[in-house]
Amino acid sequence: MQRLRLGRVGDAQPWLSGSLNPGRPARGTLCILEASPPGMHRPGPRVLLVEDQHDIAANIWDFLERRGYEVDHCADGASGLQRAREGGFDAVVLDLGLPRLDGLDLCRLLRDAGHGVPVLMLTARDTLDDKLLGFAHGADDYMVKPFALRELEARLRALHRRRTPTDTPPRGGPLAYDAGTMTAHREGRSIPLTRLQGRLLDVLLAEAPRVVAHERLLRAAWGNDAVDIAALHTQMYELRALVDKPFDCPLIHSVRRVGYRVVVP
Ligand code: CA
Closest CA to 207 of 161, 241, 253: 253
Q: What is the pLDDT of residues 168-189, one digit of tens each?
A: 444 446 888 887 778 899 988 8
Does 79 have pLDDT greater than 90? yes
Residue 30 inside a domain? The answer is yes
Spacing, Cα 184 to ligand 1 middle (Å) = 37
Whole-structure pTM value: 0.54
Does 237 have pLDDT greater than 90? yes
Does 78 have pLDDT greater than 90? yes
Spacing, Cα 162 to ligand 1 middle (Å) = 27
- Pair (36, 139) in one structural domain: yes
Which pLDDT score, from 0 to 100, does residue 10 have? Answer: 33
Residue 183 inside a domain? The answer is yes
Does 252 have pLDDT greater than 90? yes
Spacing, Cα 53 to ligand 1 middle (Å) = 6
Residue 115 inside a domain? The answer is yes
Does 191 have pLDDT greater than 80? yes
Spacing, Cα 101 to ligand 1 middle (Å) = 11
- Pair (55, 156) in one structural domain: yes
Residue 238 inside a domain? The answer is yes
Spacing, Cα 212 to ligand 1 middle (Å) = 32
- Pair (122, 187) in one structural domain: no
Using the 3D structure, point to which of 163, 194, 219 is the last residue of a domain.
163
**Domain range for residue 142?**
4-163
Residue 168 inside a domain? The answer is no
Spacing, Cα 58 to ligand 1 middle (Å) = 13
Domain CATH code at residue 228: 1.10.10.10
Number of domains the chain is built from: 2
- Pair (21, 87) in one structural domain: yes
- Pair (133, 193) in one structural domain: no
Using the 3D structure, point to which of 139, 163, 187 is the last residue of a domain.
163
Residue 72 inside a domain? The answer is yes
Domain CATH code at residue 28: 3.40.50.2300
Which pLDDT score, from 0 to 100, does residue 163 have? Answer: 64
- Pair (129, 235) in one structural domain: no
Residue 169 inside a domain? The answer is no
Strand arrangement of the beta sheet that strand 141-144 belongs to: 70-74, 46-50, 91-95, 119-123, 141-144
Using the 3D structure, point to which of 142, 163, 184 is the last residue of a domain.
163
Does 59 have pLDDT greater than 50? yes
Task: Give the confidence band of 94 by pLDDT, cuts at 50, 70, 90.
Answer: very high
Which pLDDT score, from 0 to 100, does residue 6 have? Answer: 38
Helices (H), ranges, the chain = 54-66, 77-86, 103-112, 128-136, 149-162, 195-207, 214-222, 229-243
Most confident range (mean pLDDT) of 10-24, 201-215, 244-258 is 244-258
